[in-house]
Copies of this chain bind each other. A is one copy, B any other.
């Protein structure tokens, strides 16, 4: 049910960003947020239909497909953030590859239900730290940029917290609470962030 709501919201936000970004006068910009929302919408449809899940040791389902779709959506998001932070192209590529590795190891950690999954949680965390390091190193001190990056670091870091508390980790949270928390985080980091960036670009 939460997944259907997510699918609907992100389908609508895909159209909204397509409208906003097409009205913009900047023709030479990659319309990141359209694609971020589109990837997320597909991800929610796949989870809503429960097409591929595994059972955690406590019997609750794990929707591991989420992490594969994050490879697409979150790499585009961090590419966008690296662009805003005026990183050179090679560093943008590094940030995107680190993001993809973070999510890929998150996928492995989610699909494995034995204790070995923590190896991949560790590798995912290492890639995440590499991504943040590359993003923050040598960055300009402009206020608008550093506030964006702090916002990203704080909200994105809540995803692994949910992961650890949910059936994927220690199973303290039930699967429906997990779904609501991830949805809230997706709304903030993907739609909220996208609207903020679009407005910022509009007034600059």
Contact = CB atoms under 8 A, between A and B. Distances in A.
B29 A119 contact: no
B27 A138 contact: yes
A101 B126 CA distance: 28
Interface residues of A, number: 36
Contacts of A200: none
Interface in A18-49: 18, 27-31, 34-35, 38-39, 41-42, 45-46, 49
Contacts of A46: 108
A187 to B, nearest CB: 20
Contacts of A181: none
A197 interface: no
A59 interface: no
A166 to B, nearest CB: 21
B29 A90 contact: yes
A27 B90 CA distance: 9
Nearest to A76: B97
A123 interface: yes
A144 to B, nearest CB: 22
Interface string A167-191: 0000000000000000000000000
